[in-house]
Structure 1
Amino acid sequence: MDPRSEVVLRQQDYLTGAVLFVNAPCDELHTELPPQINAQFWTWNYNEFLYFQNQNTHIHFGTQLPESEFEQAVIFVPKSKELLNYVLHNVLSRLKPGASIFLVGEKKGGVERAAKQLQPYGSTIKLDSARHCQMWQLISILQPELKPLESWVQEYSVSTPKGDLSICALPGVFSQNKLDVGTAVLLPYLSQVTSGKIADFGCGAGVISAYLAKLNPKNRIFSLDVDAFALASTQLTFEKNNLLPEQLEIKAVSGIEDAPLFLHAIVSNPPFHQGIHTDYNASENLCKTSRRHLKSGGELWIVANRFLNYPILIEQSFGQCSTKADQQGFKVLFASTQKNLKEQR
């Protein structure tokens, strides 16, 4: 069991009634809770949603709180300070003053910093410090009025040959405040991507998706991500730039295996973080298995840190991989499936 969950169980006497567990780890916590706790879970990670769903747990996926009532909340500290502010605001908006919110996290995950974010909302006390984790209790003194999701957007501009794009990034989304270096290296090559049915895997705030849509109004963009806040950001980015809504299809995915079939192209600045931990599984699977989602003659475009072994993985799947750019620590990699003879005629 995750050590954060072990700390929660050590302090289970503080929990009672309907309790909302936010951003909880995928472990056995839900099976170990005492009967006086009516537990429900909220996650914005699609992989975690699938885990809890398979465990027949009361689970909600999305950027908004579940509609069902709760009397207390246990928040597992997210990586992003801004995302924790969003979560706290939303949870407090649903609880009456005097209610308890519990914060639990790893010391290396910034739980002590996160505990300071509780202070404006009431009195706080450290309940436990064990397993390299801490658990804090907030007794709230206020109930803020819920702010709409759009009010949490960080907006910035990206220059392209087709004009500036306004990017809308919600809390916790990759590259929330400015364009990341990898995507900046990739952008000049997007005009070379074949037109048609294109998947943006790990769409983030929608920079790649929006530019591909702007390059050709006939492009159909499938924006894929594990994170509900990323998917919502991409939707907001499309709306902000007045792009055709029929060009965009947003889909929560656990990995590239959930992508549509018969794509003309897959474009990605692939993700490699899961919470505070580095995880290359999703991006390595993209290199190994994306071919099966491409039609004959379909293309794979990836930007990645130059030290990663993606070219080898792509070559093993596609038979070839070319480097279109190598700058600022990133490589733009390209591969394509072979057209069959019938399609060449």
Structure 2
Amino acid sequence: MDPRSQVLLRQMALFGGKILLAGLPADDLLGRLPAASGWSWHAGEQQQLVSRFGDERCRFATEAPEAPFEAGVLFLPKSRELAEFLLQSLAARLDGGLLYLVGEKRAGIERAAKHLALYGKPSKLDSARHCQLWQVRIERPPQVPALTNVARRFTLELADGPLHIVSLPGVFSHGRLDAGSALLLGQLDDLPEGRLLDFGCGAGIIGCALKRRYPHSELLLQDVDAFALESSRLTLAANGLHGQLIGADGIDAAPKELAAIISNPPFHQGVHTDYRATERLLTQATQHLRPRGELRLVANTFLQYPSLIEAHVGPCTVLDEGQGFRVYRAKRS
């Protein structure tokens, strides 16, 4: 069981009622707290929770469920701005109620707990398993925050015109163009026409550039994170473009017969580094590419991806390199 869940269960008497567990891990916590419900924005964890407890116990969304709850628990996310948005969202629904914050010390739980003072007088209830549990009774409930009000908007001046980006808290490279995506944007020529998948779409930068470059191709944008998917939806709308959003953890959920998979793949999960999603992409890409379909991705130069690409997709070439990144290209053999 996740150590954060273990800390909660040390104080199990506090959590017997209608508790909303926000950002909960995919463990047995819902099973141990039968009156609790979950709110997840991670598609992989949501899928595991639904398979065990049913979709009525956990919601996948960027907004809290409408059903009333007596208290809320936020499992501290990696992003400070996302944590502040989520705390405000929960506190707005808990006038006079209790809000709990749990997280790892290495994730900055003590710093995040200071934000609870906006709503009342916080207190630390427990410290164990390298985690802490904090509590505050909501004496000063805030207004329900609008997600679009906490978005960062910026414009990229591309060769075919300005591209307007809407980035939400918690999304990769929030509010700016990262070096890897910048390199990949310069290497989108000569892709085959057909279904194009932006894998790990984030704020939708690559996907929108693709749709403008190849307007007759069907665009699919996939990400594990609900806030990333909403960012991509807003970015598409800001540019008058259309694409299909897929919320899923891993390439397994992608359609077959893709003309190309284009990706600046993620390799972080919370505060921990995790390359499994990218490694699955490289080893399983041919199951989703049509014959002569293409894989094109950008990655840090220190990652040993070319050998995986050559073993599972086809001959790998480097299209560009800079600032510690390389753009790789391979066609299904």
- For Structure 1 versus Structure 2, the TM-score category normalised by the shorter chain is over 0.9
Q: How far is the alpha carbon of 1:201 from its aligned partner?
A: 0.3
Q: Which letter maps to 1:102? A: Y
Q: Structure 1 CA distance, aligned partners of 2:190 and 2:115?
A: 46
Cα deviation code 1:186-222 (max 9, x no counterpart)? 1111123223210000000000001011112212110
Aligned pair 1:314/2:309, yes or no? Answer: yes
Report SS of the residue matched to 2:285.
Answer: helix
Deviations 1:26-77 (A, max 9, x none): 22222233xxx61001100000101111111511101111121101011110
CA distance in 2, matches of 1:16, 1:256: 38
Contact 2:30 2:53 in 1 (8 A): no
Partner of 2:74: 75
Q: Is it true that 1:169 corresponds to 2:136 in the alignment? A: no
Matched positions, count: 331
CA offset digits 1:207-247 (Å, max 9, x no partner): 0001011112212110000001000000100111122x3xx
Residue 300 of structure 1 deviates from its aligned partner by 0.5
Structure 1 residue 219 corresponds to structure 2 residue 214: no
After superposition, what is the alpha-carbon deviation per residue over 1:278-321, rounded to whole angstroms, capped at 9, x for unaligned? 11010011111111111112110010001111111110012311
| Letter of the 1:297 counterpart | R
SS in 2 for 1:299: strand
Per the TM alignment, residue 144 of structure 1 is displaced from its structure 2 partner at its CA by 2.4
What 5-or-longer segments of structure 1 have no aligned partner? 339-345
Q: Paired residue for 1:255?
A: 250
Contact persistence 2:285–2:313 (CA under 8 A) = no
Distance 2:290 2:114 in 1: 52
Q: Distance in 2 between matches of 1:256 and 1:192?
A: 23
Question: What amino acid is aligned across from residue 157 of structure 1 in structure 2?
Answer: T
**Structure 2: how far apart are the matches of 1:192 and 1:151?**
38
SS at match of 2:303: coil
SS of structure 2 residue aligned to 1:189: coil
Q: TM-score, normalised by structure 2?
A: 0.96
Q: Tell whether 2:266 aligns with 1:268.
A: no
Tell me the CA shift for residue 143 of structure 1: 2.6
The CA deviation at 1:6 is: 1.2
For residue 36 of structure 2, give the secondary structure of its aligned residue in structure 1: strand
Q: Residue 118 of structure 1: CA displacement?
A: 1.0
Q: In the aligned structure 1, how far is the partner of 2:146 from the partner of 2:137?
A: 24
2:154 alignment partner, SS class: strand
**Other-structure match for 1:235:** 233
Q: Give, in whole Å, the separation in 1 of the partners of 2:32 and 2:19.
A: 14
Q: CA deviation at 1:181?
A: 0.6
What is the alpha-carbon distance in structure 2 between the residues aligned to residue 90 and residue 147 of structure 1? 6
Q: Which residue of 2 aligns with 1:64?
A: 63
1:190 and 2:175 correspond: no
CA contact (8 A) 2:150 2:168 kept: yes
> Would you identify which runs of 4 or more consecutive aligned residues in structure 1 move more than 4 Å?
none
Does 1:326 find its partner at 2:324? no
| From 38, 42, 48, the counterpart of 1:41 | 38
Check conservation: 2:119, 2:142, Cα contact below 8 A.
no
Distance in structure 2 (CA, Å) of the matches to 1:295 and 1:176: 33
Q: Which moved more, 1:49-58 or 1:262-271?
A: 49-58
Please, which moves more after superposition, 80-89 or 146-155?
146-155
- Consecutive unaligned residues of structure 2, counting only runs of 5 or more, are none
* Counterparts of residues 68-217 of structure 1 (less than 5 Å): 68-96=67-95, 98-217=96-215
CA distance in 2, matches of 1:165, 1:102: 40
In structure 2, the residue matched to 1:292 is 287
Give how far 1:130 is off.
1.3
Question: Which residue is equivalent to 2:51?
Answer: 54
One-letter amino acid of the counterpart of residue 119, structure 1: A
Matching residue's letter, 1:38: A
Percent identical across equivalent pairs? Answer: 44
Q: TM-score, normalised by structure 1?
A: 0.93
Q: Would the aligned equivalents of 2:126 and 2:134 in 1 still touch at CA under 8 Å?
A: yes
Question: Following the alignment from structure 1 to structure 2, what is the Cα–Cα distance between the partners of residues 152 and 220?
Answer: 30
- Partner residue, 1:18: 18
How far has the Cα of 1:251 moved from its partner?
0.8
